[in-house]
């Protein structure tokens, strides 16, 4: 288990297809590579199914407060009167009923369904935000290093190495309480948003390396191309070179790496909860739910089943979609 | 095709996980009786202190008894032992001046261990005490144990390098909390601390500046384990303690496993409590509480004669309690470890608010959140039922689920805003969530603040800690009110950090009363402490008593003789044996 | 070559130095007082203060750091409370576990090695094997099965798989003993049976990545000119695939494997926690929780050494495997 939240895999997979991003540009006349990819994606049944599933999950997360209104139960409400003397839910399959669709948590008796919905919201938000930020940092640093080269390249490379060498889980474990203390003093109510923010920040600090390496490699490959040299000769500024000339030609692998990074962050949030870092119990999140429920594998399997299957379906859908996206963007490897 | 794979994979997981989810839980058969009466006395008849200990019925010699525990024992060196695991392991290889004869059902008699009797109060003023060492007591190398080695053991506990153990005797002898500056062990290795003397090889004499009526109890702690000066290896004694008990450390793989073999120089005739049934004891560290319990429940091979030292986790309780075959393999017993919702009295100065908290508390719900009655039993008193002289009462009767209306009435429409500090471990997170919901129903406004798990205890021990409420725990070192109430509620002891009085409660009248009771003889103190307990709660409500821990341990089918120590609330090994 | 190696080693040393400084600083930002774990139930402020002095916690940060570094290089005297003289490489004394940190490391490092190395071999074999098969049998049911398997693995979490494996194989079927570590030199059979679940779980999850990666690589290499040329020249299929294609395809696999193994050697926190085995990872987590600076420093540094070494090694291997790469 790598200690870095995003393993360098996406990077290597995509790097291998290095020049293909550029190759596609030279492709069929009349259609932009984006249109082509979109067409291919729409024709891929897997992509459509997983895409629909992802949209469904996204909508569920977005509509959480709405669902709470219709469902009539909040994520923090406790139904302890529906638990037995050991704190286990009464009734069938962990207290599944018309009122509590997925049953109740042992101990506190909170409704699992509504907590899952809110957990989905939290986890998706964290994962998307972290993926966006890491992609941005990675693109900027990678492009600068790749394009300018020289000492800047060396420095950025070294920082990348350093970041990789710092054990992520350990640092996260040490930093999270410290940051909280700095911001809220010892008595303030820590808002859920803050906990989420800290997690995103931690991911951002450690997650950008693979994108940076990917972009750097791509930019180096493009640097000596004619069209780049032409633009340079005509006196284009740094900004223009990076954002107008280089990046439009490497967006495909970046997109793929982004789509594969999101599920990585979802599972990383869960992994952090597992060693006791992350959100407090008040904020419903996938990580905490899974972590808590695993203990009950033998005594309340339904409690493990519902969050377990949801997180699996979500991550699986992301992976399927990411795969399909790569196929669509890289015609050579498509089946 | 890929969606089909997804369905198949999902289905497989569903199958594994959903097995057994189809039976209905009706909540029947989930009541556990955890009531029991505690009696405790100091032996007056010297015969009580003589060996050998009565045979345990059904016990046979031989076999290896394994104890599985998640984390290693922090110290084996008796002078540095204070953790519960250490206190339970020590009697296997260390003997003390006095020890508890414990029937495992709350019946306790304090008897002489190395000493012939549990101490002689020479002038009946508790200032001078004498102990006479038994004949025939020996170290693992066959040397006789004399008062010199016991005194040396106590002397080395003054060494700041060897910190970690109890400090009662040191502080009483030096008459100051700064005992290690008053008498420097390293500079005076051949002499003895002030007030400690060995008039002859059989006699050990303590002289104190103030009455110390609890001394017979205090010397039942491992501080009084003997050690010959030439066997003192300093900090390394932790790896290889020098045995005076029925077993000796044969092999110690630090942090992994400790193997104890029989000590042939231990004479059962001198020992009133210990036995020497198994050939070997093995302490094995590493598996989580879950893993250890699952292992013992599975009852495979060597685990048949094993005990999971960690109690059954809340998540497994339903399985163990629901399985009739496990009934004979589990021990369930309340412990003397009392837990309170501690109110920071420096911050919450309004008595009505503290009383309202007491009325509002939903102990049943709180205990459910922890895993139910096999994990905790409700408590309404300051001292746990396992205290000598204990008397049950409820100063704020509100039923098992609390009385929200009564609390609101006391608050008179106000909504006090209180900050509840909780450790970020999963247990306290659950407790915190439950308390918040519970107290907010009664009109409080509760802010939960997480405190790093390992830091929590140190933080709430600081006088100026910023929280209004926190969950506190006290497990007394001996079952007397003297080791509970003055420690927790004597306001004169409050200092900048390292406080046991975490409620920061200080009332001059109560302080005076404590002084009065402390000067009584140990036998007279019991009922007086019980009265004071009730008075503090009625007049001041400095905390909300919550629960006592319940010990719920499972052992293998061949492990026998395990009982929960009435003093410490953890499994005791003096009667342990392996069934053939 | 030598110049490249020198340059890499210099940069690696610099990285390790930065890691040590950062870790040291971070620890002191922790809202945690390590001293109180020494002093038990009956502590008083004066005593705490003296312990702090004894441990040098009141010294300026720089001199504490210098002391630590000096210990690693030349060894130092830690005082009687900390086991006295500590020989180089002295990693300090843990006042939480009461032993020399080098002893702790010597105990837990073999555990992590025993988990990671066999697991890595397993996941590489499984992953690359699956990837090759599905690339060569592209589009068949075998390909789909392999991809489905790998995607499932990539979407599952170790603690989940671990918990289910434990429940099924250990507690219910009782086919395997409860995971534990025995030295391979003491009892190889026990060593393997105690760790096999961890290997399997790790291999299942990790092989997914390698299967996808090597499949993609293989497909691409197969379409490259030199392979086509080799085929056209009439070389036998197995020879072409085995010698030429595999060789080129394996390069990125080596990169990732190097980084993964390097990272994993620094501690497989989740694996160790799930299976209840005390390795480097769990030791590090425990150390952070209890504010045990010497142990944190040691575990973080060792983890960093592995990552950095893996990086250098990968670069070297790169050159060895793929003749197209020349070291700059």
Whether chain A has a CB inside 8 Å of the CB on C34: the answer is no
Bridge partners, residue B248, by sequence: B261
> Would the pLDDT of C145 be above 80?
yes
Following CA atoms B300, B302, B307, B310 in sequence, which dihedral angle do they give, to the nearest 10 degrees?
-70
Best to test chain C binding among B497, B502, B554 (most C CBs inside 10 Å): B497
B residues 130..169 contacting C (CB < 8 A): 160-161, 163-168
Banded pLDDT at A238 (limits 50, 70, 90): confident
CA angle B158, B162, B165 (to 5 degrees): 80
In what helix (H) or strand (E) does residue B564 lie, and over which residues does it extend?
strand B563-564
CA angle B324, B561, B227 (to 5 degrees): 145
Mean pLDDT for the stretch of residues A194-212: 86
CA distance A5 to B513: 60
| Interchain CB distance below 8 Å, C284 and A166 | no
What are the structural domain ranges in chain C?
Answer: 32-90, 103-321
Highest mean pLDDT among A224-238, C231-245, C268-282: C268-282
Strand, helix or coil for residue B339: strand
Task: Enumerate helices (H) and strands (E) in chain A, giving the number of each.
Answer: 15, 0
| Interchain CB distance below 8 Å, A166 and C213 | no
Whether chain B has a CB inside 8 Å of the CB on C92: the answer is no
- Closest Cα in chain A, distance from residue C209 (Å): 7
Among chain A residues, the shortest Cα distance to C212 is held by: A13
Whether chain B has a CB inside 8 Å of the CB on A151: the answer is no
Whether chain A has a CB inside 8 Å of the CB on C152: the answer is yes
| Interchain CB distance below 8 Å, B298 and C170 | yes
CA distance B124 to A245: 97
B residues 272..311 contacting A (CB < 8 A): 290, 294
CA distance B549 to B532: 23
CA-CA-CA-CA torsion sign (B226, B232, B234, B236): negative
E strands in B254-359:
257-262, 280-285, 306-308, 330-343
Residues of A in contact with B465 (CB under 8 A): 186
Whether chain B has a CB inside 8 Å of the CB on C181: the answer is yes
Widest Cα–Cα separation across chain C: 86
- Closest Cα in chain B, distance from residue A331 (Å): 19
Residue-by-residue DSSP string for A64-109: HHHHHHHH---TT-B-GGGB-TTSPBPBSTTT--SSSTT-B-TTT-
Residues of C in contact with B82 (CB under 8 A): 40-41
**The pTM is what?**
0.81
Cα-Cα end-to-end distance for chain B:
58
Banded pLDDT at A106 (limits 50, 70, 90): confident
Whether chain A has a CB inside 8 Å of the CB on C213: the answer is yes
CA-CA-CA-CA torsion sign (A62, A67, A69, A73): negative
Residue among A178, A158, A191 at smallest CA distance from A279: A191
CA distance A109 to A83: 7
Residue-by-residue DSSP string for B206-269: EE-SS--TTHHHHTTSGGG----GGG--GGGGGTSPPP-SSEEEEEEETTTEEEEEE-TT--GG
CA distance B368 to A86: 6
> Would the pLDDT of C51 be above 90?
no
| Interchain CB distance below 8 Å, A181 and C31 | yes
In what helix (H) or strand (E) does residue B92 lie, and over which residues does it extend?
helix B84-93
Residue among C202, C171, C195 at smallest CA distance from C270: C202
Bridge partners, residue B554, by sequence: B330
Q: Are B97 and B115 in contact (CB under 8 A)?
A: yes
Residue-by-residue DSSP string for A8-63: THHHHHHHHTTTHHHHHHTSSTTS-HHHHHHHHHHH-HHHHHHHHHHHHHHHHHHT
Q: Are A73 and A100 in contact (CB under 8 A)?
A: yes
Q: Are A215 and A142 in contact (CB under 8 A)?
A: yes
Residues of C in contact with B177 (CB under 8 A): 42, 44, 46-47
Residue-by-residue DSSP string for A197-252: HHHHHHHHHHHSHHHHHHHHHHHHHHHTSHHHHHHHHTT--HHIIIIIIIGGGTHH
Instruction: State the count of interchain CB pairs (< 8 A) between A and B.
Output: 168
Over its length of 580 residues, how does chain B's per-residue pLDDT go in tens digits?
Answer: 344 444 444 454 444 444 444 566 665 554 555 555 566 678 778 888 887 988 888 888 999 999 999 888 888 999 999 888 999 999 999 999 999 998 888 788 899 999 999 988 899 888 999 999 999 999 999 999 999 999 999 999 998 888 888 888 998 999 887 888 889 998 888 899 999 999 999 999 999 998 888 899 999 999 999 999 999 998 889 889 999 999 999 999 888 889 999 999 999 999 999 999 999 999 998 888 888 898 898 888 888 999 999 999 888 888 888 788 888 899 988 888 999 999 999 999 999 999 999 999 999 999 988 888 888 899 999 999 888 888 889 999 988 888 889 999 998 888 899 999 988 777 888 899 899 999 998 989 998 888 877 778 878 888 888 899 999 998 888 888 888 999 899 988 888 877 888 999 999 999 999 999 988 887 788 899 999 999 999 999 999 999 999 999 999 999 989 999 988 989 999 999 999 8
| Interchain CB distance below 8 Å, C209 and A7 | yes
Strands B543-554 and B330-343: antiparallel
- pLDDT score at A71: 84
Instruction: Find how far residue A113's CA is from the centre of its chain.
Output: 22
CA distance A258 to A251: 10
- Phi, psi angle pair for B180, to nearest 5°: -80, -15
From A178, A275, A298, residue closest to C29, measured CB to CB: A178
Residue-by-residue DSSP string for B169-218: HHHHHHTSS-HHHHS-TGGGTTS--TTEEEEETTEEEEE-SS--TTHHHH
Residues of A in contact with C212 (CB under 8 A): 9, 13, 323
- Could you report the per-residue pLDDT of A251-291, keeping only the tens digit for each? 878 888 888 888 888 888 888 877 777 677 777 888 888 88
- Closest Cα in chain B, distance from residue A8 (Å): 24
CA distance C36 to C53: 13
List of residues 6+ apart from A260 with CB closer than 8 A: A9, A10, A318, A319, A322
Mean pLDDT for the stretch of residues C286-297: 82
Exposed, middle or buried, A83 (CB in 10 Å: 0-12/13-18/19+)?
buried
Residue among B567, B551, B576, B577 at smallest CA distance from B101: B567
Strands C93-94 and B196-200: unpaired
| Interchain CB distance below 8 Å, A94 and B24 | no
Q: Are B464 and A194 in contact (CB under 8 A)?
A: no
Bridge partners, residue B121, by sequence: B129
Mean pLDDT for the stretch of residues C160-169: 86
Strand, helix or coil for residue B346: coil
Whether chain A has a CB inside 8 Å of the CB on C150: the answer is no
DSSP letter (8 states) at residue C177: P
| Interchain CB distance below 8 Å, A276 and B453 | yes
What are the structural domain ranges in chain A?
Answer: 44-327
| Interchain CB distance below 8 Å, A276 and B21 | no
Whether chain B has a CB inside 8 Å of the CB on A112: the answer is no
List of residues 6+ apart from A296 with CB closer than 8 A: A106, A303, A304, B315
Instruction: State the count of interchain CB pairs (< 8 A) between A and C.
Output: 164
From C205, C219, C252, residue closest to A12, measured CB to CB: C252
Whether chain A has a CB inside 8 Å of the CB on B400: the answer is no
| Interchain CB distance below 8 Å, C273 and B457 | no
CA-CA-CA-CA torsion sign (C229, C230, C234, C240): negative
CATH architecture of A44-327: Orthogonal Bundle (1.10)
- pLDDT score at C26: 77
A residues 176..215 contacting B (CB < 8 A): 177, 180, 185-190
Whether chain C has a CB inside 8 Å of the CB on B452: the answer is yes
Whether chain A has a CB inside 8 Å of the CB on C142: the answer is no
- pLDDT score at C172: 79
A185-189, B164-168, C269-273 — which is least confidently predicted?
A185-189
User: Could you write out the three-class secondary structure of B145-164?
Assistant: CCHHHHHHHHHHCCCHHHCC
- Closest Cα in chain A, distance from residue C288 (Å): 6
> Would the pLDDT of A21 be above 60?
no
CA distance B327 to B347: 47
Q: How many CB atoms lie within 10 A of CB B425?
A: 16
Which is higher by pLDDT, C201 or B20?
A: C201
User: What subunits touch chain C, counting only 3 or more CB pairs under 8 A?
Assistant: A, B
* CATH superfamily of the domain spanning C103-321: MetI-like (1.10.3720.10)
Highest mean pLDDT among A218-232, B379-393, C47-61, C207-221: B379-393
- pLDDT score at B28: 57
List of residues 6+ apart from B580 with CB closer than 8 A: B60, B62, B63, B558
From A166, A174, A323, residue closest to C288, measured CB to CB: A174
DSSP letter (8 states) at residue C168: I
Best to test chain A binding among B27, B400, B446 (most A CBs inside 10 Å): B27
Best to test chain A binding among B13, B315, B453 (most A CBs inside 10 Å): B315
Whether chain B has a CB inside 8 Å of the CB on A67: the answer is no
User: What subunits touch chain B, counting only 3 or more CB pairs under 8 A?
Assistant: A, C
> Would the pLDDT of C248 be above 80?
no
- Phi, psi angle pair for A25, to nearest 5°: -60, -35
Side-chain half-sphere of B168: how many Cα atoms within 13 Å?
A: 22
Best to test chain B binding among C134, C276, C285 (most B CBs inside 10 Å): C276
Residue among B561, B566, B568 at smallest CA distance from B67: B561
CA distance A136 to A133: 5
Rg of chain C over Cα atoms, rounded to whole angstroms, equals 24
Exposed, middle or buried, A103 (CB in 10 Å: 0-12/13-18/19+)?
buried
Bridge partners, residue B545, by sequence: B340
Q: Are C101 and C94 in contact (CB under 8 A)?
A: yes
Q: How many CB atoms lie within 10 A of CB B306?
A: 26
Q: Are B323 and B310 in contact (CB under 8 A)?
A: no
- pLDDT score at A102: 82
- Could you report the per-residue pLDDT of C79-96, keeping only the tens digit for each? 766 767 777 778 888 877
Residue among B420, B495, B473 at smallest CA distance from B450: B420
- Phi, psi angle pair for B260, to nearest 5°: -115, 125
C residues 74..113 contacting A (CB < 8 A): none
């Amino acid at each position: 288990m790598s200690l870095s939240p995003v393993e360098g895999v996406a990077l290597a997979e995509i790097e291998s297809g290095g020049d293909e991003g550029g190759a596609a540009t030279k492709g069929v006349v009349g259609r932009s590579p984006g249109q082509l990819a979109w067409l291919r994606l729409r024709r891929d049944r897997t992509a459509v199914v997983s895409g629909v599933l992802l949209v469904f999950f996204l909508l569920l997360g977005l509509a959480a407060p709405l669902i709470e209104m219709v469902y009539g139960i909040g994520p923090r409400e406790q139904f302890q009167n529906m638990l037995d003397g050991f704190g286990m839910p009464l009734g069938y399959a962990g207290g599944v009923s018309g009122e509590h669709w997925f049953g109740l948590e042992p101990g506190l008796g909170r409704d699992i369904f509504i907590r899952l919905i809110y957990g989905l919201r939290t986890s998706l938000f964290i994962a998307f935000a972290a993926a966006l930020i890491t992609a941005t940092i990675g693109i900027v640093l990678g492009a600068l290093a790749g394009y300018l080269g020289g000492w800047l390249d060396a420095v950025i490379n070294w920082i990348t190495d350093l970041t990789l060498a710092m054990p992520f889980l350990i640092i996260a474990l040490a930093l999270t309480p410290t940051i909280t203390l700095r911001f809220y003093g010892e008595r303030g109510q820590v808002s859920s948003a803050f906990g989420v923010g800290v997690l995103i920040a931690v991911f951002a600090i450690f997650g950008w390396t693979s994108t940076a390496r990917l972009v750097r490699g791509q930019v180096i490959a493009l640097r000596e191309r004619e069209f780049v040299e032409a633009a340079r000769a005509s006196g284009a500024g740094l900004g223009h070179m990076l954002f107008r000339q280089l990046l439009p030609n490497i967006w495909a692998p970046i997109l793929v790496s982004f789509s594969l990074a999101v599920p990585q962050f979802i599972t990383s949030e869960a992994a952090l909860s597992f060693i006791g870092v992350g959100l407090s119990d008040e904020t419903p999140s996938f990580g905490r739910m899974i972590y808590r429920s695993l203990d009950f594998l033998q005594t309340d399997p339904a409690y493990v089943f519902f969050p377990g299957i949801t997180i699996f379906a979500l991550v699986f859908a992301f992976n399927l979609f990411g795969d399909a996206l790569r196929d669509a963007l890289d015609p050579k490897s498509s089946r | 095709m890929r969606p089909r794979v997804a369905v198949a994979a999902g289905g497989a997981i569903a199958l594994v996980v959903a097995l057994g989810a189809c039976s209905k839980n009706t909540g029947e058969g989930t009541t556990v009786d955890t009531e029991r009466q505690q009696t405790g006395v100091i032996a007056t008849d010297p015969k009580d202190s003589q060996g050998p200990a009565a045979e345990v019925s059904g016990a046979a010699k031989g076999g290896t008894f394994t104890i599985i525990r998640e984390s290693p024992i922090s110290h084996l060196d008796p002078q540095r032992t204070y953790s519960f695991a250490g206190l339970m392991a020590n009697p296997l290889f260390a003997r003390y001046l006095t020890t508890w004869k414990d029937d495992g059902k709350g019946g306790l008699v304090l008897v002489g261990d190395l000493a012939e009797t549990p101490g002689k109060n020479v002038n009946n003023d508790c200032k001078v005490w004498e102990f006479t060492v038994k004949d025939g007591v020996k170290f693992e190398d066959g040397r006789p144990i004399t008062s010199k080695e016991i005194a040396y053991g106590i002397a080395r506990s003054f060494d700041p390098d060897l910190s970690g153990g109890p400090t009662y005797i040191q502080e009483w002898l030096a008459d100051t909390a700064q005992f290690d500056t008053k008498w420097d062990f390293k500079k005076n290795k051949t002499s003895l601390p002030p007030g400690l003397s060995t008039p002859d090889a059989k006699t050990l004499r303590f002289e104190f500046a103030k009455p110390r009526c609890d001394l017979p109890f205090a010397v039942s702690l491992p501080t009084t384990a003997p050690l010959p000066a030439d066997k003192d290896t300093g900090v390394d004694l932790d790896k290889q303690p020098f045995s005076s008990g029925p077993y000796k450390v044969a092999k110690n793989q630090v942090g992994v496993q400790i193997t104890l073999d029989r000590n042939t120089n231990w004479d059962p005739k001198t020992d009133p409590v210990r036995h020497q049934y198994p050939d070997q004891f093995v302490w094995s560290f590493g598996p989580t509480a879950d893993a250890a319990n699952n292992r013992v429940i599975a009852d495979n091979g060597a685990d048949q004669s094993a005990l999971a030292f960690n109690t059954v986790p809340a998540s497994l309780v339903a399985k163990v309690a629901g399985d009739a075959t496990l009934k004979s393999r589990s021990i369930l017993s309340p412990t003397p470890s009392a837990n309170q919702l501690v109110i920071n009295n420096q911050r919450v100065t309004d008595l009505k608010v503290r009383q309202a908290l007491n009325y509002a508390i939903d102990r049943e719900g709180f205990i459910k959140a922890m895993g139910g009655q096999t994990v905790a039993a409700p408590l309404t008193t300051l001292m746990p039922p396992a205290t000598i002289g204990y008397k049950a009462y409820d100063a704020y009767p509100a039923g098992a689920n609390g009385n929200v209306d009564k609390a609101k009435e006391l608050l008179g429409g106000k909504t006090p805003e209180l900050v509840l500090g909780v450790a970020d471990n999963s247990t306290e997170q659950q407790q915190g969530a439950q308390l918040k919901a519970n107290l907010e129903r009664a009109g409080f406004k509760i802010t939960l603040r997480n405190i790093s798990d390992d830091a929590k205890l140190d933080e709430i021990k600081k006088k100026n800690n910023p929280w209004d409420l926190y969950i506190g725990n006290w497990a007394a070192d001996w079952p007397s009110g003297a080791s509970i109430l003055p420690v927790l509620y004597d306001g004169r002891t409050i200092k900048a950090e390292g406080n046991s009085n975490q409620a920061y409660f200080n009332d001059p009248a109560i302080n005076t009363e404590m002084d009065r009771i402390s000067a009584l003889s140990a036998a007279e103190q019991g009922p007086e402490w019980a009265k004071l307990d009730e008075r503090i709660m009625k007049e001041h409500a400095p905390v909300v008593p919550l629960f006592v821990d319940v010990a719920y341990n499972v052992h293998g089918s061949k492990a026998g003789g395990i009982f929960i120590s009435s003093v410490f609330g953890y499994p005791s090994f003096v009667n342990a044996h392996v069934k053939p | 070559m030598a110049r490249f190696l020198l340059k890499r080693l210099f940069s690696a040393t610099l990285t390790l130095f930065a890691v040590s400084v950062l870790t040291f600083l971070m620890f002191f930002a922790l809202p945690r007082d390590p001293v109180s774990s020494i002093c038990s139930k009956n502590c008083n402020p004066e005593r705490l203060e003296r312990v702090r002095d004894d441990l040098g916690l009141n010294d300026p940060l720089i001199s504490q750091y210098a002391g630590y570094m000096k210990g690693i290089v030349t060894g130092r005297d830690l005082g009687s409370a900390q086991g006295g003289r500590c020989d180089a490489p002295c990693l300090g004394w843990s006042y939480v576990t009461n032993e020399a940190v080098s002893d702790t490391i010597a105990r837990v490092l073999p555990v992590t090695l025993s988990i990671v190395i066999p697991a890595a071999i397993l996941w590489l074999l499984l992953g690359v094997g699956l990837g090759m098969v599905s690339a060569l049998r592209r589009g068949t049911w075998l390909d789909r099965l392999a991809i489905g398997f790998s995607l499932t693995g990539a979407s599952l979490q170790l603690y989940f798989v671990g918990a289910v494996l434990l429940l099924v194989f250990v507690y219910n079927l009782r086919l395997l003993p409860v995971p534990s570590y025995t030295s391979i030199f003491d009892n190889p059979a026990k060593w393997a049976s105690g760790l096999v679940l961890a290997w399997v779980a790790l291999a299942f999850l990790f092989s997914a990545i390698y299967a996808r990666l090597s499949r993609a690589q293989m497909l691409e290499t197969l379409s490259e000119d030199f392979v086509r040329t080799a085929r056209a020249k009439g070389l036998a299929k197995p020879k072409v695939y085995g010698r030429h294609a595999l060789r080129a395809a394996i390069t990125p696999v080596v990169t990732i494997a190097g980084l993964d193994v390097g990272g994993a050697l620094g501690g497989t926190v989740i694996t160790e926690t799930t299976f209840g085995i005390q390795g480097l990872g769990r030791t590090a987590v425990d150390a952070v929780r209890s504010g045990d600076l010497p142990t944190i420093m040691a575990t973080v540094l060792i983890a960093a050494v592995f990552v950095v070494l893996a990086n250098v090694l990968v670069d070297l291997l790169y050159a060895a495997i793929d003749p197209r790469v020349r070291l700059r």
